[in-house]
Chains A and B, each alone.
Chain A
């Protein structure tokens, strides 16, 4: 670890690392803009995008389901894995906080995926849930993320917690490509990728533009929530350090 970087002490509380510029804002402009963009994208999807001729209105769940999956699965879990690996190398608590924040934000976005998917499935497949590969592996990944956060709360020592979490966070990286490929590797009911595939996206232009707007909006929301979660983790560690020191 580079000298001068904050580090976890042997005790339960992290080493105080507060800088004069510690950001304590609960809401910032980035969060406000991203929330407004998401609302705009939802309004466009609901009221200004053509209705799918086969599925009807329920197809519009696609515009929130897929962006949440991209953000939670690829961005969030990817960030968690990278940060976990980096923590094992440099042992910087800021990286541990970023990994923790990525895991929790991914949990929420994958929760949206797992909650909106069955609504679509009930209308399109006639059932809320199927134990097929994509759905089951996504649920499994969500449970691993939940376990990661539970583990963090269960370990007293900050250094040990960060190290164990980093090992578990790294394991998530192994699951992400598997979840992505389940629709190719196994016969299932989940549709194959419409956008994230080597070929051109199979969407008419009016739907594609709504999708891209929605994807940008929810990716920005993901980053905004990640920033806020990271900021809170810093505040929490600072408070714990002061309580431990007093």
Chain B
């Protein structure tokens, strides 16, 4: 099976990489293999048949994990500063 694939770097949204879309770069490669394109052509990759794999949940999981870590650390730092600032204030009042 050999079908043309539109793999322009700017057209890599899910809808636009489906097989059979308008083509400016034609590949004879089988859909069973993923073939890198010429780097100087501005083309990133040739799409798989049926478009890219559905990995949206992994994407959100990655961003959620990062957000939890960053927010957690900011919260920890703010709590530390507030606590020690209060401790310094209390010490000043005692003095």
User: Interface of A with B (CB < 8 Å)?
Assistant: 24-27, 31, 35, 38, 42, 46, 50-61, 64-65, 68, 108, 111-112, 115-116, 119-120, 122-123, 202-207, 221, 225, 228-229, 231-232, 235-236, 238-239, 242-243, 246
Q: Which residues of A contact B46 (CB under 8 A)?
A: 53
Q: How far is the CB of A64 from the nearest CB of chain B, in Å? A: 5
**What residues of chain B lie closer than 8 Å to A225, measured between beta carbons?**
73-74, 77
Report chain A residues within 8 Å CB of B56.
56-58
Would you call B91 and A246 a contact (CB within 8 A)? yes
A57 pairs with B9, CB closer than 8 A: no
How far is the CB of A18 from the nearest CB of chain B, in Å? 9
A123 and B9 contact, CB distance less than 8 A: no
On whether the beta carbons of A64 and B14 are closer than 8 Å, the reply is no
Are A232 and B39 closer than 8 Å at their CB atoms?
no
The majority secondary structure among interface residues of chain A is helix
Contacts from B to A (Cβ < 8 Å): 7, 9-14, 17, 34, 39, 42-48, 51-56, 58-59, 61-63, 65-66, 69-70, 73-74, 77-78, 80-82, 84-85, 87-88, 91, 94-95
Q: Which residues of B contact A65 (CB under 8 A)?
A: 62
Residues on the B chain within 8 Å of A26, using CB: 77-78, 81-82, 85
A246 to chain B, nearest CB (A): 7
A55 touches B55 (CB 8 A): yes
